[in-house]
Amino acid sequence: MKTIKRILLVLLVALIGIQFIRIDKTNPDSDPAKDFIHLEQPPDEIARLLKVACYDCHSHHTIYPWYTNIAPFSFWIKDHINHARSHLNFSEWADYDRGRKHHKLEECYEEVEEGHMPLPSYLWLHDEAKMSDQQIGNMVSWFRDQMSKYE
């Protein structure tokens, strides 16, 4: 019993201690002229969905809700954002060459169709990012149509 109490106390102190490690929430500068939605001009409904379901991770327009202040949850979220931006950054779309654009659009189409994106864990706390089958279908076919621009 004593050992368990001691372990719990150590964990509690560690949990409090890590609260002092803050994640960097400054959004990097971005040029609106390089933005994916600005350049690809999706229909309004798809643009809206991209903003609420993808841009928190895949752009420089991340919104950090209150719970992103809580460690270690905050570390986990920041790690997702860093990874997501390094794979696909909608704020830097203009810098991608033709081949890369084509490839990323293809991946978008596949990831959304298979239900891998938005990340399922993101949907726990983001109701607005949940898409109906019809919304998924519309987004997927728009991505696919867009690919032909970069063939």
For ligand HEC, the binding residues (CB under 6 A) are 53-54, 56-58, 80, 83-84, 87-88, 107-108, 111-112, 117-119, 122
Nearer to ligand HEC, 6 or 149 (CB): 149
Nearer to ligand HEC, 37 or 57 (CB): 57
CB of 20 to ligand HEC, least distance (A): 25
- Rg (alpha carbons) of the chain, rounded to whole number: 19
Residue with the two structure tokens 């149509």: 145
CB of 111 to ligand HEC, least distance (A): 4
Q: Exposed, middle or buried, 148 (CB in 10 Å: 0-12/13-18/19+)?
A: exposed
- Largest interatomic CA distance in the chain: 67
CB of 9 to ligand HEC, least distance (A): 33
Nearer to ligand HEC, 71 or 136 (CB): 136
Nearest to 25 by CA among 77, 90, 86, 72: 77
